[in-house]
Amino acid sequence: MALRNIVTVDTDRTSVLRKKTRIVEKFDERLKELAADMIETMHEANGVGLAAPQVGILRRMFVMNVDPEEGDLVIINPEIIDPEGADVAYEGCLSVPQMYGQVKRPTRLKLKYQDLQGEVQEIEAEGLKARCICHETDHINGIMFTDKIIGELIHESKLIEDEAKRDPKSSEQDLKPDSVEIIEEN
């Protein structure tokens, strides 16, 4: 396993984040290595999701971990089915460091995808997991969360400051962005 460089919007490689990705057709050791590298990179960056374009790879895949009990998921060739409801919450992105914005996403969905062996799987997701799936699926379609924000982008420090004003009893640790349903990716 190896850490990959995450493409951020302030680099000359930004264009890879705007490109549509290609379907994964070959399920081999190289794909497993890429998935392992992406998982390691996601964890090292304290993210909950990471899409292949964010590490410069134009393939329809992402990794995520929003539930420690469930662990890491590798999602290949995803297809969102039956999105339901709507919720607006703050999201962030490892490709847009320290910036957050409110995005409207479905509250529930079904996801059809392939695993690392190429087997078709289907899961149901809600809340943060559904939000992360939508965020990462947007990435593999060349869409950034900044394209969908309601209002304006705000810096992480402002988000923490605003949360402290709403709940002055919270400790500084409680006010870290990951404690207010935020996607750090992702």
Q: What is the DSSP string of 164-177?
A: HHH-TTS-TGGGSG
> Is residue 5 in some structural domain?
no
Locate tokens 């209002």: which residue? 151
The pTM assigned to this predicted structure is: 0.87
User: Do the beta carbons of residue 65 and residue 156 sit within 8 Å?
Assistant: no
Instruction: Say how many domains are in the chain.
Output: 1
Catalytic-labelled residue, pool 40, 126, 136, 184: 136
> Is residue 174 in some structural domain?
no
Angstrom distance (rounded) from CA 147 to CA 7: 17
Residue 136 is a catalytic residue: yes
User: What are the Cα distances from residue 153, in Å, to 29, 86, 102, 125, 135?
Assistant: 39, 20, 8, 26, 16
Neighbours of 134 (CB within 10 A): 25
> Is residue 132 in some structural domain?
yes
> Is residue 1 in some structural domain?
no
The two tokens of residue 106 are 């479905």
Check residue 77 and give left, alpha or beta (phi > 0: left; psi -120 to 50: alpha).
Answer: left
pLDDT values of the chain reduced to their tens digit, one per residue, 186 residues? 799 999 999 877 789 999 999 999 999 999 999 999 999 999 999 999 999 999 999 999 999 999 989 999 999 999 999 999 999 999 999 999 999 999 999 999 999 999 999 999 999 999 999 999 999 999 999 999 999 999 999 999 988 887 778 876 655 444 444 434 444 444
Assign residue 73 the CATH number of its domain: 3.90.45.10
Task: Give all strands (DSSP E) within 47-86, no chain letters.
Answer: 49-51, 61-64, 73-84
> Is residue 77 in some structural domain?
yes
Angstrom distance (rounded) from CA 177 to CA 7: 21
- Its domain, for residue 147, covers 14-95+102-151
> Is residue 7 in some structural domain?
no
> Is residue 78 in some structural domain?
yes
> Is residue 156 in some structural domain?
no
Query: How far does CA 180 lie from the centroid of its chain?
Result: 15
